[in-house]
């Protein structure tokens, strides 16, 4: 576990870069916020995951949908990234999550997710134009929504125990590190669009 956080941070560093494939530029601080979010999640650890082996669950993160080329246009990829960030923010912005973790890192993580959502919303608005609508919820975005619904059901079934929250914290780290891959695919799609 001690090696996991530096690995995730390195992954975020390599794949979260300024500039977007949507015809807009995310602020230069976007990559730093992603790194900070992973560090804050690491700081939120309250007990060893080894104590929670019985509480483990495979939430079936839809990684193959995010990495398997099912996102054909940059706006759809951005909509999926936005859904991932929004669902994470919503999960962490509950009374029960406030009781589960120390206030300072939780507040910092919420704040970082909020800044990322604002930047992505501004980017999507700029890319789609004020009169147009961003892509709706379908395919991969719905899979992300179902994934987080499964996490909520799990927490409820486990009585919001400390171990359940620890498993969810690890799962959020996994999801956010996968979002770096999605952000990278946005940059690749921009290069593809520019060459046609």
Instruction: Please write the tens of the pLDDT for every residue from 90-100.
Output: 999 988 888 88
Q: Does residue 74 sit within a domain?
A: yes
Percentages (nearest 5) of helix, strand, coil residues in the chain: 70, 0, 30
Q: Does residue 16 sit within a domain?
A: no
The vertex-85 CA angle with 164 and 126, nearest 5°, equals 175
* Length of the chain counted residue by residue: 196
pLDDT of the residue at 5: 39
* Separation of alpha carbons 64 and 43, rounded Å: 29
Percent above pLDDT 70 for the chain: 64
Q: Does residue 49 sit within a domain?
A: no
pLDDT in tens, 138-180: 677 888 999 999 999 999 999 999 999 999 999 999 888 877 6
Q: Does residue 193 sit within a domain?
A: no
Check which CATH number belongs to the domain holding 134 and give it: 1.20.1250.10
Per the structure, the complete domain to which residue 133 belongs is given by: 70-188
pLDDT value at 185 more than 80: no
pLDDT value at 113 more than 50: yes
pLDDT value at 7 more than 50: no
Q: Does residue 25 sit within a domain?
A: no
Q: Does residue 61 sit within a domain?
A: no
Percent above pLDDT 90 for the chain: 34
**Interacting residues of 193 by C-beta distance below 8 A, sequence separation 6+:** 21, 74
pLDDT value at 39 more than 90: yes
Per-residue pLDDT band at 126 (split at 50, 70, 90): confident
How many distinct structural domains can be found in the chain? 1
Are the CB atoms for 60 and 162 separated by under 8 Å?
A: no
Q: Does residue 172 sit within a domain?
A: yes
**Average per-residue pLDDT in the chain?**
75
Half-sphere exposure of 72 (CA within 13 A, CB side): 3
Among 50, 15, 12, CA closest to 170: 50
Q: Does residue 151 sit within a domain?
A: yes
Q: What is the pTM of this model?
A: 0.76
- Residue 72 backbone dihedrals phi, psi, to 5 degrees: -85, -25
């Amino acid at each position: 576990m001690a090696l996991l956080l530096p690995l995730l941070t390195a992954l975020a560093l390599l794949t979260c870069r300024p500039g977007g494939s949507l015809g807009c530029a995310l602020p230069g601080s976007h990559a730093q916020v992603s790194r900070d979010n992973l560090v804050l999640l690491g700081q939120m650890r309250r007990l060893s995951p080894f104590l929670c082996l019985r509480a483990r669950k495979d939430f079936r993160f839809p990684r193959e949908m995010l990495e398997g080329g099912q996102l054909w246009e940059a706006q759809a990829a951005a909509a999926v990234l936005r859904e991932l960030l929004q669902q994470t923010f919503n999960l962490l912005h509950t009374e029960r999550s406030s009781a589960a973790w120390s206030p300072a890192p939780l507040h910092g993580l919420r704040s970082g997710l909020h800044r990322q959502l604002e930047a992505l919303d501004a980017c999507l608005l700029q890319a789609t134009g004020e009169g147009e609508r961003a892509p709706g919820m379908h395919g991969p975005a719905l899979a992300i929504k179902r994934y987080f619904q499964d996490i909520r059901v799990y927490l409820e079934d486990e009585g919001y125990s400390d171990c359940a929250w620890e498993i969810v914290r690890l799962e959020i780290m996994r999801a956010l590190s996968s979002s770096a891959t999605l952000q990278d695919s946005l940059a690749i799609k921009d290069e593809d669009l520019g060459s046609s």
